[in-house]
């Protein structure tokens, strides 16, 4: 059973994820991405899908043309966990 | 310039798309899909992405694990157009 981060742990984790915002209502983290076009956006989504399947930890996400919005939370933990932080770091590594 | 469907055209088109709902606020059509798992859902999304890129007509869509929600509308027409009907038929052909 994975546990949700404490507030102190969350604050520290978010300091290392400056491009992600905390969604208090969901206890989730979100990041919005913009690409040149749909092809680039979906290529990114495919890479995220491979990361997600490998980690068995899947995003809530949406896409409109060149934009991709990602929300990460851990349903089993009832909020943000280390798994979300790890996934956010892996996603950041694809684009930064 | 692609034109939005008239109400009569829309009603007729939706009769041929029984699995799609009309979103009045957006003048769009929506369908929700459920698959066995994320792998199957994303495989479906990849096929839809190829259809969309080929038609140069892209969905607004979201995914959470095994679920995929698709909304089709034609921004250039300010509402539902024949392009959405064609895309919905092509998407249906992938799953039905």
Task: Check A63 against B65: CB less than 8 A apart.
Answer: no
Q: What angle do CA B51, B57, B59 make, to 5 degrees?
A: 85
Tell which residue, B74, B72, B78, B5, has the closest CA to residue B32: B72
Report the pLDDT averaged over residues A35-50.
98
Q: What are A58-95's pLDDT values in tens digits?
A: 999 999 999 999 999 999 999 999 999 999 999 999 99
The tokens describing A23, both together, are: 């969604």
The tokens describing A69, both together, are: 């919005």
Q: What are B35-63's pLDDT values in tens digits?
A: 999 999 999 999 999 999 999 999 999 99
Find the CB nearest B61 among A46, A49, A62: A62
Judged by DSSP in three states, A67 sits in strand
**Percentage of residues in chain A having pLDDT higher than 90:** 98
What ipTM score was computed for the predicted complex, to two decimals?
0.95
Task: Check B38 against A58: CB less than 8 A apart.
Answer: yes
pLDDT at B1: 80
Query: What does the mean pLDDT of chain B come to?
Result: 97
Whether the CB of B32 is below 8 Å from some CB of chain A: the reply is: no
pLDDT band with cut points at 50, 70 and 90 for residue B96:
confident
Place of tokens 């679920």: B67
Correct CATH for B7-93 of 1.10.10.10, 2.20.25.90, 3.50.50.60, 3.30.1360.20: 3.30.1360.20
Task: Check A58 against B64: CB less than 8 A apart.
Answer: yes
Tell me how far apart the alpha carbons of residues B74 and A68 are, in angstroms, rounded to a whole number. Answer: 19
pLDDT at A94: 98
- Cα–Cα distances in angstroms (integers) from residue B67 to residues A27, A59, B79, B80, B90, in the given order: 21, 12, 25, 24, 19
């Amino acid at each position: 059973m994975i546990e949700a981060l404490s507030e102190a742990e969350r604050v520290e984790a978010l300091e290392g994820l400056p491009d992600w915002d905390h969604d208090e209502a969901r206890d989730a983290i979100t990041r919005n991405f913009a690409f040149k076009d749909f092809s680039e956006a979906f290529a990114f989504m495919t890479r995220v899908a491979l990361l997600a399947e490998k980690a068995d930890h899947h995003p809530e996400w949406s896409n409109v043309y060149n934009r991709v919005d990602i929300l990460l939370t851990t349903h089993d933990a009832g909020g943000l966990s280390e798994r979300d932080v790890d996934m956010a770091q892996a996603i950041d590594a694809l684009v930064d």
